Amino acid sequence: MISTYSSVERLLAADPALSLRPLQVAQLTRGWAVDVTAADLDMLAACVDAPRRLSAKRGYLAATGANVELARMLEERPEDFGAVGQIVLGADAVEVRPGPRPFADTLFVVGLECIDGFQRLRVIADARGRLPREHLRQAVIRLEIRCGAERDRARHAYDVEDRYRNGATAQDRLIRCPNIRRLMAGDWEKNDFDPRRGVTAGPHGSRFSMADVTSALACLSDDPLPVAANLAATPEGREALWSDRTSAVYRGVFHGKMSPVGVMRAVEAWRTARSALAAMPRKSRQGHGHLIEYAPELICWKACRWLPLLSLHDDTKLFPWERAIERELPARTVAAAESLVAHYKELHPDHGRTGNSYKSEAPRLDLWRELAECAV
């Protein structure tokens, strides 16, 4: 028998212990590391007074986004439920009693406290009535159990651990996209590409952020509607686009045929079109011309429709991309702006007069769809 305190038997008699049959158990420098299944923990946070009884920092937060996702993961992908994150418990004492067979030890945890992971425990408890125990046994979870001074240290550390955590973003997760990883491995000559930093052109050249790259590829997407361009126009939209790698919109922008030369062509075309819009006189931005100010990505998208978009990522020289972008695209961008503004005024003559501000109306996707379908 291995124990943390010499008086374990007395504590067991005074305080009924959590009894576990772990898959693995190890005594570490700062406590215990234990692998158990969700089925072993389904009653730990089931009662109403569980937060008080376990001295949890917070009660159950119910239907937060994180808890909804945890519940969905436990139901749909139980093997993943314990792959990220762990549950940290404090205890007055821990005792391991060897069983009759290998890996059949029984673990007794006395004086239990939930230092971190109460939300997961409650998600498990709520699932016990919906999911069979065999399903819950597929979720293997790592418990860390701290006693004595290490228990106090863990409690203080986890009380403020959010101060030291860098939250992941949808852009960070782009590195897991196989199409982007293939793009990273492509031949960029003197350039460099990484989804966290974007494109760096040469050792002292210009840099295009991942937001620029996304907007450019969305602008030159062969999608007949500007859905991707609309998403790429705002930080919130880009996060939404980046976050769902299974969506048709995402696959239309970041597909398996991407190439370094195609990305650079897209960026140059997008920047050229944006520059042409910026050079238009101020008077052109009045009234319905606010479309130029508040929906520039729509105009850039429309201006680039004449380019051979299906061959954007083809490294052959069958189309003079550089000459077309430099010499023809600026005038086509101005013409697209004038055409879209005219159609906007024709379709919605009252915008800007009846409390519907151009700033709020011009970025709407349904307006972009409407204008994209009617403008030549």
* 8 plus 65 within the same structural domain: yes
**Model pLDDT, residue 99:** 67
Domain boundary among 113, 148, 164: 164
Domain boundary among 140, 164, 188: 164
| Per-residue pLDDT tens digits for 90-133 | 999 998 887 665 556 888 899 999 999 999 999 999 999 899 99
* 215 plus 118 within the same structural domain: no
Q: Structurally, how many domains does the chain consist of?
A: 2
Lowest mean pLDDT among 92-101, 244-253, 313-322: 92-101
* 214 plus 150 within the same structural domain: no
**Model pLDDT, residue 9:** 46
**Model pLDDT, residue 102:** 58
What angle separates helix 210-219 from helix 260-278, to the nearest 10 degrees? 90
Domain boundary among 164, 192, 218: 164
Distance CA 305, CA 373 (A): 12
* 126 plus 204 within the same structural domain: no
Distance CA 23, CA 34 (A): 8
* 247 plus 288 within the same structural domain: yes
* 232 plus 148 within the same structural domain: no
| Per-residue pLDDT tens digits for 185-220 | 999 988 889 999 899 877 666 789 999 999 999 999
Count Cα atoms within 13 angstroms, Cβ side, for 368: 25
Range of the domain at 128: 2-164
- Please list the residues that pair with 344 across neighbouring strands: none
Q: Distances in Å between the alpha carbon of 31 and those of 34, 95, 323?
A: 10, 12, 67
> Are the C-beta atoms of residues 82 and 23 closer than 8 Å to each other?
no
* 114 plus 229 within the same structural domain: no
Percent of the chain with pLDDT over 70: 91
Pair of tokens at residue 59:
């009660």
> Are the C-beta atoms of residues 202 and 191 closer than 8 Å to each other?
yes
* 7 plus 110 within the same structural domain: yes
Lowest mean pLDDT among 84-98, 221-235, 238-252, 255-269: 84-98
Percent of the chain with pLDDT over 90: 72
Pairing between β-strand 87-91 and β-strand 113-116 as defined by DSSP bridges = antiparallel
Task: State the CB neighbour count (10 A cutoff) for residue 319.
Answer: 14
If we measure between CA atoms, which residue out of 263, 253, 242 comes closest to residue 187? 263
* 181 plus 160 within the same structural domain: no
Model confidence at 227, pLDDT cuts 50, 70, 90, reads very high
> Are the C-beta atoms of residues 283 and 336 closer than 8 Å to each other?
no
* 189 plus 313 within the same structural domain: yes
**Model pLDDT, residue 76:** 95
* 178 plus 157 within the same structural domain: no
Pair of tokens at residue 317:
């020289």
* 309 plus 335 within the same structural domain: yes
